[in-house]
């Protein structure tokens, strides 16, 4: 794309992240810095942001590789199976600015272990999660010719290394020290019969008893 004919050509960088303690669902907030040296400034940007996980950009402990086997298969095949994963596609409006501005990008986070991103996050013990942010959208800007509308250049992207501890903080705000699994109805009924027959008080006790029995065998 020939950017020389466009009055605005924004650049993007992810400069931080935090948990949102007041959202209705678990939400991670990425802090995005947008810069543009256009003399007339930027009136607004209708921005789309695609967020991907880049698992090949970090090292893993033996414990993590064991848990990630369900997602990537044996370690000997990781050079073929470890690929970028889609986390979210979001839209955000960047307000008027001259020079630079910082805006928040709320990212809803799930704890569904049936989803690839959920499996990946839950398998990590520590360290950082490599993220790639890809940008597109429309820029509304001022120029000598008046008001102009131009596309966000297709090659705009940013990387950010999200601390695993921060993702756990987001989850703990909503599911402290807990997780969940999706089971078929007939499996749930079987567990309920097992739980009732042994007068177990909680589902944790039920699963712990099953694990103990499996270990005995």
Which helix (DSSP H) or strand (DSSP E) does residue 94 occupy?
strand 85-94
Residue 217 has what pLDDT? 47
Residues 114-168: tens digit of each pLDDT = 688 888 998 999 999 999 999 999 999 877 677 789 999 999 999 999 999 999 9
How much of the chain, in percent, has pLDDT values that exceed 90? Answer: 60
Angle of helix 116-123 relative to helix 62-72, nearest 10 degrees? 170
Q: Is the pLDDT of residue 4 over 60?
A: no
């Amino acid at each position: 794309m020939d950017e020389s004919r466009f009055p605005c050509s924004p650049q993007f960088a992810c400069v931080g992240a935090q948990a949102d303690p007041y959202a209705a669902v678990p939400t991670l907030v990425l802090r995005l810095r947008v810069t543009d040296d256009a003399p007339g400034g930027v009136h607004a940007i209708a921005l789309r942001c695609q967020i991907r996980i880049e698992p090949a950009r970090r090292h893993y402990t033996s414990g993590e590789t064991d848990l990630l086997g369900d997602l990537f298969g044996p370690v000997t095949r990781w050079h073929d199976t470890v690929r970028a994963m889609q986390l979210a596609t979001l839209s955000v409006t960047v307000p008027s600015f001259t020079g630079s501005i910082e805006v928040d990008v709320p990212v809803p986070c799930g704890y569904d272990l049936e989803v690839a991103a959920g499996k990946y996050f839950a398998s990590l013990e520590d360290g950082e999660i490599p993220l790639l942010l890809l940008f597109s959208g429309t820029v509304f800007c001022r120029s000598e010719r008046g008001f102009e509308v131009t596309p966000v250049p297709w090659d705009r992207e940013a990387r950010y290394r999200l601390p695993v501890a921060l993702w756990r903080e987001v989850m703990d705000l909503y599911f402290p020290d807990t997780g969940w699994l999706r089971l078929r109805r007939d499996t749930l009924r079987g567990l309920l019969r097992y739980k009732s027959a042994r007068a177990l008080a909680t589902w944790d006790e039920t699963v712990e008893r099953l694990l103990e029995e499996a270990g005995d065998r």
